[in-house]
Amino acid sequence: MQKTALLCLLLGSLACAQPPFTRTQTQRLSRLQGPAYDQEVREIQRRAQTKLVGALTQQSVDALAEWFLFATALIDGQTPSESAPGSSFLSHLQQVVVRAWPRLSPETQKKLLEFPAYWANTRRDWTGLKPDQQQQAVVGWRNALTPLLKASGRQELARACLTDLQSTYRKESATPIELQQAQQRVETAARRLAADGDAESKSLARQLQNALIAVQAQQDQQRALQEIEARKARLSTPPGADYNRIFRQINSTARS
C-alpha cells in the first residue's frame, strides 16, 4: 500500500509536446558543446528508450526522482536546492516504481510514462504561479506522498542519500558540485529525520550529521595539506621576476 501510493502523485494535465529532458539533463546540456553535447543527447535518448518493466522507461523514473526532491523540499517548507538525485537514491526510487508498476491502472501508467513532460512543464512554469496556486499544488503533493514521507519512508530515503554521499566522496572523478549536492541531500534528510518523534529516526539523523562532519573534516584536512604543499613550492622556487628585481637593485647600487 505504501509503495503504490507514491504513484498517486500525478497532478494536472501533461503537455506531451515538451521535449522529454529532465531539469538536470537540460542544465548539463547547457554546459556542453560539440562531441560532448552529442554524446549526452544520445545518452538521454538511450534512457528514454530503455524499458524497466512493461512500457516504463528509465527517463520517466529520472524525471520522477528529480520532481520528488523538488516536491518534498517544498512540502517541508524549504527552498528546493535543485540538486540532482544520487545513484543510490535513484535506484531506491526505481525499485519502488518497478514493483508497483503491475498494480497500477492503465491511466496511471500512461501518466507516469509522460512524467518527463509533466516535470519539465511544472518546473518551467513554477515561478510564474501565484502563491495560492503553488500552495494548492504543494498540498496535493503532500497528500499523495504522505505514506512515503512517514518515518519508515524517510529512513529508507535517508540511507540512500548517505550511500550516495559516501560513494561520491570516494570517487576520484567527483566534481566539487557533485560532492556539494550529495552533502545537501544528506543535510535535508537529516533535518527531516530530526523532526520525527521516533527514536530510530533521531538516531539515524545523528548518524547522517556525523557523516557530514567527518566529510567536512576530511575536506578541511585536504585543503590544509594542499596549502602547505603550495607554500613549500613557492618557498623552494621563487618566481624568476624576484631574482631579476634583486639583480637590478644590485647593479643599480654598484653603478651609483
The residue among 149, 167, 190 that closes a domain is 149
Q: Residue 163: its pLDDT value, please?
A: 84
Distance from C-alpha of 79 to C-alpha of 189, rounded to nearest angstrom: 14
Confidence grade of residue 16 (pLDDT, cut at 50, 70, 90): very low
Same domain as 55, residue 6? yes
Same domain, 216 and 94: no
> Does 135 share its domain with 196?
no
> Do residues 160 and 187 both lie within one domain?
yes
> Is residue 118 domain-shared with residue 202, that is, in the same domain?
no
Residue 177 and residue 119 share a domain: no
Residue range 64-81: mean pLDDT, rounded:
80
Shared-domain flag, residues 128 and 203: no
pLDDT at 45: 76
User: What's the pLDDT band for 241 if we cut at 50, 70, 90?
Assistant: low
Q: What is the pTM of this model?
A: 0.61
- Do residues 11 and 63 share a domain? yes
Contact (Cβ atoms closer than 8 angstroms) between residue 156 and residue 80: no
Query: Which domain-ending residue is among 149, 182, 210?
Result: 149
* Residue appearing with cell numbers 526505481: 94
Cα–Cα distance between 125 and 119 in angstroms, integer? Answer: 10
pLDDT at residue 115 greater than cutoff 80: yes
pLDDT over 50 (residue 5): no
**What number is the average pLDDT over the span 168-197?**
79
Which band of pLDDT confidence, cut at 50, 70 and 90, is reported for residue 130? Answer: very high
Same domain for 144 and 155: no
Residues 29 and 66 in one domain: yes
Q: Is 23 a residue whose pLDDT tops 80? A: no
pLDDT reported for residue 14: 35
pLDDT, averaged across the chain:
76
Is the torsion defined by CA of 234, 235, 240, 242 positive or negative?
A: positive
Q: Quick one: 33 and 113 in the same domain?
A: yes
Q: Which of 46-60, 63-77, 82-96 has the lowest mean pLDDT?
A: 82-96
| Residue 123's pLDDT band (cuts 50, 70, 90) | confident
Model confidence over 134-176: pLDDT tens digits? Answer: 999 999 888 877 766 666 677 877 888 888 888 888 877 777 8
Q: What is the mean pLDDT of residues 57-70?
A: 87
Give me the DSSP letters along 178-236.
Answer: HHHHHHHHHHHHHHHHHHS-SHHHHHHHHHHHHHHHHHHHHHHHHHHHHHHHHHHHHHH
**Domain containing 100: what range?**
1-149
Q: Of 9, 27, 123, 130, which Cα lies nearest the Cα of 70?
A: 123
Looking at the structure, do residues 120 and 28 belong to the same domain, yes or no?
yes
Specify the number of domains making up the chain: 2
Last residue within a domain, chosen from 110, 125, 149:
149
Residue 10 clears pLDDT 60, i.e. is over it:
no
What pLDDT shows up at residue 107? 87
Quote the pLDDT of residue 231. 76
